[in-house]
Each structure stands twice: as C-alpha cells, then as structure tokens.
C-alpha cells in the first residue's frame, strides 16, 4: 500500500480566498484522484490527475474553480479557488494500489476546510 501525506490537515478560510492542498505519495503512481466529502455525505470524485497532462474533471467540477497540478509521479496539488461556505468539505487525495487492474484506492488523511 502507498503512504499518502496531505497538507494542510485542516484550515479555516475566509470567503473569496483560495487554498492549495498538497498531496505527497511515497512511491511513483500513474494516476492520482481528488475527492470531496461534504459534511454527512459520501465521496464525490473531483478530478483525475495524470502526470504530464491536464487533469480530467468530473461533471460539475471545472478547472477554474479547482485547478490541479501534477508536476511528477509522487506529487499533486488541488487549489480551491474563490471559496464560499459551500466549499466547506473534506478534500481527499487518493491513488490506486499496487494492483492497478483491481483498482483499490488508498487515501490520504484528508484536508478539512471550513469556509467562513
């Protein structure tokens, strides 16, 4: 299994500001995924980040709001731009396990954002 570190673990942000979340993996991985978990809800995939190409966004998520970088095979960032209280969520970084064909995911500890 991969060890995934996320920073920050939590933050309180003001409306209209932006925050960048970092995700560091202890091994090289092809695909990294960013999820959002709103209070009391399940996980929603925001985008898939591949090294060397643009991220692929899911329906309802756009690059202007959630820009993603993937500069190498062990690191990615997700920025939440122009935040509003509706962006208060846990943001989770994940990677596919060693057996990419079966596709179990491993997750970071999450970044809990509160927007005032």
Partner 1 sequence: AQSVAQPEDQVNVAEGNPLTVKCTYSVSGNPYLFWYVQYPNRGLQFLLKYITGDNLVKGSYGFEAEFNKSQTSFHLKKPSALVSDSALYFCAVRRGPGNNRKLIWGLGTSLAVNP
Residue 102 exposure: Cα atoms within 13 Å on the Cβ side: 5
CB of 16 to partner 1, least distance (A): 27
Confirm or reject binding of residue 61 to partner 1 (CB under 8 A).
no
Q: How many CB atoms lie within 10 A of CB 26?
A: 11
Exposure string of 56-80, with b = 16+ CB inside 10 Å and e = fewer, is ebeeebeeebbbbebeebbebbbeb
Question: Cβ distance 113 to 14 under 8 Å?
Answer: no
User: Nearer Cβ to partner 1, position 7 or 81?
Assistant: 7
Q: Quick one: which segment of 13-21, 37-45, 61-69, 73-81 binds partner 1 (CB under 8 A)?
A: 37-45
CB 67 within 8 A of CB 88: no
Smallest gap from Cβ 51 to partner 1, in A, equals 14
**31 makes contact with partner 1 (CB under 8 A):** yes
Give yes or no for residue 73 binding partner 1 (CB under 8 A): no
| The only residue of 77, 110, 113, 115 in contact with partner 1, by rule CB under 8 A | 110
Its sign, for the CA torsion 87, 88, 90, 91, is positive
Residues of the shown chain interacting with partner 1 in the complex, contacts defined by CB under 8 A:
1, 4, 6, 30-31, 41-43, 45, 48, 58, 92, 94, 96-97, 100-110, 112
């Amino acid at each position: 299994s991969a060890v995934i570190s996320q920073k920050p673990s939590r933050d309180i942000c003001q409306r209209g500001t932006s925050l960048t979340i970092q995700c560091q993996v202890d091994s090289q991985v092809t695909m990294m995924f960013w999820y959002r978990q709103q209070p009391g809800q399940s996980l929603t995939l925001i985008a898939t980040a591949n090294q060397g190409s643009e991220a692929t966004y899911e329906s309802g998520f756009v690059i202007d709001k959630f820009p993603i970088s993937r500069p190498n095979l062990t690191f990615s960032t997700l920025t939440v731009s122009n935040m509003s209280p509706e962006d208060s969520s846990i943001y989770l970084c994940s990677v596919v396990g060693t057996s990419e064909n079966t596709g179990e995911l491993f997750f970071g500890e999450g970044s809990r954002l509160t927007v005032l």
